[in-house]
A and B are shown apart, each in its own frame.
Chain A
Amino acid sequence: QKEVEQDPGPLSVPEGAIVSLNCTYSNSAFQYFMWYRQYSRKGPELLMYTYSSGNKEDGRFTAQVDKSSKYISLFIRDSQPSDSATYLCAILHNTDKLIFGTGTRLQVFP
C-alpha cells in the first residue's frame, strides 16, 4: 500500500464549479499536510499548509484534514480557467521529506 493515495483524475469542470480534490494516507503519525499546484513546465507551488484536523481557508481554497479517517481534501470555489493545473497533495514525513500523491490533473473550461 502506498503511503499517500490520490484520486488520479483527470477532472474536467465548467468555470464557476466547486472542485473537490482528495487524498488518503496510511500512517496515523503523519501530522503536516500540504497542497501544491503545478502548472505545465513549472515547479510545484505551495497552496496550503496545515497540521491540524479541520478546515483552513485561503481565498477560494479550503484545505480539510480528517485525521481520524486519514483523509485530506482541497476544495476550490468558483473555479477559474487559470486553476487548470495538476494538484498534488503532500505529507511531511518526520524525517523532513515530502511524500507526494500522484497528482490530479484539473481542467476548468469557460
Chain B
Amino acid sequence: KAGVTQTPRYLIKTRGQQVTLSCSPISGHRSVSWYQQTPGQGLQFLFEYFSETQRNKGNFPGRFSGRQFSNSRSEMNVSTLELGDSALYLCASSEGTGNQPQHFGDGTRLSIL
C-alpha cells in the first residue's frame, strides 16, 4: 500500500505570496491532519479533516486554511506568507476518527524569502 504522498517536496516563496500544499492519504484512510514542524516549536497541530469537514483546528491564524475532497485528498493553503511560516508542513492520515494511529508523509519544506 502506498504511503501518504505530499507535493511538492520543496517550495520557495516570498513574503506576501500565498501557497497551496497537497496531500494524498493512504488508500482507504478518510481522516487527514496537518502539522507544522519548526526547530523552535516542534510539531504543532494545524487542523484535521474527515469526510470533507474540518473537525478540529489548532491555534494558528486564519491565514492557514484547508479543505478535503470527496476522494479524501486534502489541500492546505497559507495566504499572505510571513517569514515565520518557513517550516516543514506534514500531513498525516488515519483510517477514521477516534483514537486511530496517524501515518505521516515526508512533508513539504516551505522557505519564505
B90 touches A44 (CB 8 A): yes
Instruction: List which B60-113 residues lie within 8 A (CB) of chain A.
Output: 90, 92, 97-107
- Interface residues of B, dominant DSSP: strand
B48 touches A88 (CB 8 A): no
Cβ-based interface call for A60 (8 A): no
Determine the chain B residues whose CB is within 8 A of the CB of A41 once the complex forms.
106
Min CB–CB distance B4 → chain A (angstroms)? 7
| A96 contact from B55, B103, B105, Cβ within 8 A | B55
A96 and B4 contact, Cβ closer than 8 Å, known pairs A41-B106, A44-B90, A46-B102: no
Instruction: List which A18-53 residues lie within 8 A (CB) of chain B.
Output: 31-32, 34, 36, 41-46, 49, 51
CB closest chain-A residue, reference B90: A43
Complex Cα spacing A46 to B94, Å: 12
Cβ-based interface call for B33 (8 A): yes
Complex Cα spacing A70 to B4, Å: 31
CB closest chain-A residue, reference B41: A102
Complex Cα spacing A12 to B98, Å: 37
Instruction: List which B2-36 residues lie within 8 A (CB) of chain A.
Output: 4, 6, 31, 33, 35
- Residues of chain A touching chain B, judged by Cβ–Cβ distance below 8 Å, are 31-32, 34, 36, 41-46, 49, 51, 88, 90, 92, 95-103
Closest 5 CB pairs of A and B: A43-B104, A100-B43, A97-B45, A43-B106, A49-B101
